[in-house]
Every structure is written in C-alpha cells, then in structure tokens.
Structure 1
Amino acid sequence: MIDLDAVQRLKVLDGELLVVPENTEQEGMEQLAEALHFLTPGCKVIIVRGPLEKMDVGAMNKLGWYRA
C-alpha cells in the first residue's frame, strides 16, 4: 500500500513528476497511476520512488533525460 500522507502533491497536472516514498511497492505505484488516470483522463505523469537528488541539465542529459 502507498502511504498517501507521504505523497508530496495530489493536485496533479499533465506532465508532472510525482515522487512517492522509496519504500512504495510497485503495486502501489500502479494503483496510484490507475487512480490518476481515472480522475484525470489523458493526464500523463511520471511516478518515481524517492528521494531524488537535484541534478543540473548536463547530468540529466548524460542519463538520457532531456528538457523540452
């Protein structure tokens, strides 16, 4: 199960990155994705287990992440 109290943002907009607690199981992440799809059809988000480190654009590019 996902700890909903630990989710950092619940008003989700298209294109956002959601960081869930690092102990969140894959099933919980899938349930969150399904619920978001139900609540906001067509909204696309990225769900990752945290914590995340701050990276500059160069570091993200080396990992294959590109800003649009």
Structure 2
Amino acid sequence: MYEILLNLLFVAGLWLAVEHCLKRETTQSLEDASLIPFADDPEVARRVEAATGKVVKAVAPEEAKPGYINLEM
C-alpha cells in the first residue's frame, strides 16, 4: 500500500517539475529547439525544411583557420 502511494507521489512530483520547467516556453520556442540538431549541417537543414516546411536557422560550417589543421573525428 505504501509503495503505491509513494509511486503516485513520485509521478505527481515529476509532472509538477516538468510543468514548472516548461511554464515559460512558447510553441515557437519549442519548435525552434526541436530543429537545433539540424542547424550545423546546411544540406540536412535543407532536407528537413523540404520535408517539414519549417525554417531551420542553419549555421555555416566553421572554416579552417590558417596554420591550424582541422581533424575529422
């Protein structure tokens, strides 16, 4: 009986914590956050834009600086 009560309290606490964290977020900010993983690759950003119709704010890849070697990892 106590285990069930503790489980219910845990679920309610988790729900309240998530609600508190997302309270100030807007629909637009959540959509922008969902597109961040595609922002560093312009080709993938174009494909995601074509597939979803949402604009991905892509960032150009960093150019090699003179005197430095860019290593592929």
TM-score range (shorter-chain normalised) is under 0.3
If asked which structure has higher relative contact order (CA below 8 Å, sep 6+), I would say: 1
TM-score by length of 1: 0.27
Larger Rg computed on CA atoms: 2
- Which is helix-richer, 1 or 2? 2
